[in-house]
């Protein structure tokens, strides 16, 4: 399955997504998939794993071409963290209700 399809499935099913990014494994609540500055990106809340920037739990944008081995995990989430669609996104493809 393509990374984009995996992301959309996880968003629609409100399931965590696991993947490698910048050499670190991460588990993320995927809240929005779309394009920003012309590049496909995922906006998600990282709940587990590591990060180059310190705290593993935080809102992050991920460029999808840098995501590796993405898969939908069994663990679900409630949504509701994203209060409004973020500014500066060109297009929204999938968003958590």
Domain count, the chain: 1
Q: Which of 29, 33, 45 is nearest to 77 (CA)?
A: 29
Examine the pLDDT at 86 and tell me if it is beyond 80: no
Q: Give the residue ranges of DSSP H helices in 1-97.
A: 3-13
Q: What pLDDT sits at residue 89?
A: 87
How many other β-carbons are positioned within 10 Å of the β-carbon of residue 4? Answer: 16
Examine the pLDDT at 94 and tell me if it is beyond 80: yes
Q: What pLDDT sits at residue 84?
A: 67
Asked if residue 29 lies in contact with residue 7, where contact means CB atoms within 8 angstroms, the answer is no
pLDDT digits (tens, 9 = 90+) for 27-68: 999 999 999 999 999 999 999 998 888 777 889 999 999 999
Q: What is the mean pLDDT of residues 60-83?
A: 92
Residue 17 is inside which H or E element, if any? Answer: strand 15-21
């Amino acid at each position: 399955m393509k990374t984009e399809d995996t992301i959309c499935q996880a968003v629609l099913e409100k399931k965590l997504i696991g993947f490698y990014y910048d050499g670190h494994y991460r588990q993320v609540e995927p809240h929005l998939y779309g394009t920003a500055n012309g590049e496909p990106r995922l906006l998600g809340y990282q709940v587990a794993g590591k990060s180059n920037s310190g705290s593993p739990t935080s809102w992050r944008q991920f460029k999808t071409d840098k995501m590796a081995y993405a898969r939908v995990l069994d663990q679900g989430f409630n949504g509701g963290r994203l209060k409004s669609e973020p500014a500066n996104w060109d297009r929204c493809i999938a968003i958590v209700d």
